[in-house]
Amino acid sequence: KCFGLAPGTKIEDIDFDQAVQWLSLPRHICNHPTSGKPVSSNIGRFGPYIQHGNIFATLKKDCGYDVFNVIPEVAVELVDAKAIADKPLAELGDHDGQEILVKKGRWGPYLKFGREKVPLPQKFKDNVDGFSLDEALKLLDGKGLLGKKKKAGSKSPAKKNAFQMFMAEKRPGLKAEGLALGQIQKKGAALWKDMGEQEKQAYQKIADNANAELGLDSTTATRGSSSSSKASSSKSPGKKNAFQMFMAEKRPEMKAEGLALGQIQKKGAALW
C-alpha cells in the first residue's frame, strides 16, 4: 500500500509509528446519525478532509483536530455544513427538460443550466431571492445559450429508447428521496431490470412516439436481414463505474471554482 505525504511534511521527519498510522487511513470515525452511512477522515493531495458519501469537507488546521483524533460530533458537523453549502441557492425551474439552478461559487452566485454556468448580475451578489425564472431565461438567452440552432453537417438528434423514457418518469421521484446522481442511476437500473417485458414495451411505445416527432426510426435493422431487431426496451443500460458518477456530480462545482480541465481531473482523483 502506498500513501502520499501530507502537504508540508518532510519524509525525513516521519518515523515508523507515524508511517504505520498514515497507512491505516482512511479512518472510520462514526456512522452518520441521519443517513447511517460511514463518516471517515483521510488525507488527500490538498490536505486532510472528512468524507460522508459524496460529501467531502476540509478539515482545517484551526479546528483543533487532525484526521487521527477528530471526534464524531465535529466530523458530522463539518459534513453537514458542507452538504448545506453544496445545495443550490435556488431551484428556478426548467427549460427544455434541463434544470435551471442558482448555485454558490467562489466568486459569487452563478446560474447553472446543463453544463453552462453564467454569473448572476452584480445586484444579486448578496441576495438571490429576487432572481426569477424569467430573469434567468433572459440572461441565458442574452448569452446565446437558449434555442441554439444545429450547425450544418452536425449529427442528427439521438434516438430515444425505452430505458430513457422510464428514467425521465422515475428520476424526479428518486431525486425527491434525496439520492445522489449515481444512486439514482443505480436504483433506476435495478427497477428496470425487475420490470416485466410488457411494462417495458409500454415505455418503448413512448420512445417510438418521441422518435417519430423527431423524424427518427425507432427500429434497427438486424445484420443480414431487413426486418427490425428487438426493441431497445430489452437492452440493459450501459454500465458506468463509480468514479465516473462521482466526477459527473463534482465536475460542475470544480469548474465553477475556475479550475482548468487538468486541475479538475487531478482534484477529482485526489478527492476520490
Per residue, what are the HEC states of 153-164?
CCCCCCCCCHHH
At residue 265, the pLDDT reads 77
- Cα-Cα-Cα-Cα dihedral sign, residues 222, 227, 228, 234: negative
At residue 19, the pLDDT reads 87
Place of cell 442574452: 142
At residue 31, the pLDDT reads 96
Q: In the numeric block, which cell numbers belong to residue 43?
A: 488525507
Q: In the numeric block, which cell numbers belong to residue 67?
A: 484526521
Distances (CA, A) of 180 to 131, 171, 192, 248: 26, 11, 18, 11
Q: In the numeric block, which cell numbers belong to residue 62?
A: 484551526
Q: What is the pTM of this model?
A: 0.42
Contact 53/37 with Cβ under 8 angstroms?
yes
At residue 118, the pLDDT reads 92
Give the H/E segment covering residue 52: strand 47-52
CA 185 to CA 171: how far, in whole Å?
8
Q: In the numeric block, which cell numbers belong to residue 240?
A: 458506468
Contact 262/269 with Cβ under 8 angstroms?
no
CA 206 to CA 169: how far, in whole Å?
11
**Ranges in the chain, pLDDT < 70:** 6-7, 147-157, 217-240
CB neighbour list of residue 183: distance below 8 Å, 6 or more residues apart: 174
CA 83 to CA 169: how far, in whole Å?
26
At residue 79, the pLDDT reads 94
Taking phi over 0 as left and psi of -120 to 50 as alpha, with beta for the rest, 215 belongs to left
Residues 230-255: tens digit of each pLDDT? 444 445 555 667 777 888 888 888 88
CA 47 to CA 72: how far, in whole Å?
19
At residue 237, the pLDDT reads 54
